Amino acid sequence: MNLREDQIYRYSRHILLHQVGGEGQGRLLSGRVLVIGAGGLGSPVAYYLAAAGVGTVGLVDGDVVELSNLQRQILHFTPDVGRPKVESAAEKLAALNPDVRVETYSYRVTAENIRSLIREYDFIIDGTDNFPAKFLINDACVMEGKPYSHAGVLRFQGQTFTYVPGHMCYRCVFRDMPPKGAVPTCAEAGVLGAVVGVLGTIQATEAVKYLLGVGDLLTDRLLVFDALTSRFREVRIGRQEECPLCGTSPEITELREYEQPACDLRERSSV
């Protein structure tokens, strides 16, 4: 890809890196990344993908902006309250970088639509905040052979890893949905806004590295961040032969949807 003069100037700090250069920047401009969830994680991911010049950024989210989102979902501003998140997000990304084509999908992913949706993209970002969506995204990416970045955040902690075919998937670590009451959501337990920024930035970095074909991805490694101690911890977990999805004798061969298990914190605190 021949870069225009304004693109050479815009992406000059990338082009100066010998791992990127003009050829690598051309790869980014030709790249397609789908971000599922335009909230706390999806906001920094989409910002950095657009700033980096990733040519097509897809945004999937069926929610509208709420006032309580603004503490961490930095793609959205106060006047956006009540607007569809993908509409609000696309407006900011277009203003940041007109090179980037933003494709919006104002609905939630389901077992019926996710496989055809992810087929159109090179890399997938899981920016969701609930277990049913995370299992669905993982299962669909494994079945379609699509690389993706997982992240999850709660209170002051977060975790992330990258799936590439042949390596550890989400079910290698978490076999199935947690039982009711086992894990609260951010809405129930809270989350420090900056923590999602840390994890989302890592996810964006993984996507850019994948498109460039440089560095080591977070495959077979669960990276855990604790904001209270300002420490990262790495847990090495290889692909599990007995994994019900990607193992040698898979039991899961079709997508299914789960219900979000509600968590009663008052009930938990009384135990």
pLDDT digits (tens, 9 = 90+) for 153-206: 999 999 999 999 999 999 999 988 877 666 665 567 789 999 999 999 999 999
Note the pLDDT of residue 183. 62
Question: Can you name the CATH fold of 31-269?
Answer: Rossmann fold (3.40.50)
**How many other CB atoms sit within 10 Å of the CB of residue 158?**
25
Instruction: State the residue for tokens 């129930």.
Output: 188
Q: Are strands 221-226 and 157-163 parallel, antiparallel or unpaired?
A: antiparallel
User: What does DSSP assign to residue 254?
Assistant: S
What pTM did the predictor assign? 0.93
Q: Per-residue pLDDT tens for 210-240?
A: 999 999 999 999 999 999 999 999 999 999 9
Retrieve residue 236's tokens: 């090495």
Across the chain, mean pLDDT equals 93
Instruction: State the residue for tokens 């989350």.
Output: 191
Note the pLDDT of residue 259. 79
Q: In the predicted model, is pLDDT for residue 266 greater than 60?
A: no
| Residue 141 confidence class, pLDDT cut points 50, 70, 90 | very high
From residue 229, give the alpha-carbon distance in Å to each of 88, 200, 216, 223, 225. 34, 19, 26, 15, 9
3-state secondary structure 32-89: EEEEECCCCCHHHHHHHHHHHCCCEEEEECCCECCHHHHHCCCCCCHHHCCCEHHHHH
Note the pLDDT of residue 263. 44
Indicate the SS3 state at residue 197. Answer: helix
Note the pLDDT of residue 166. 96
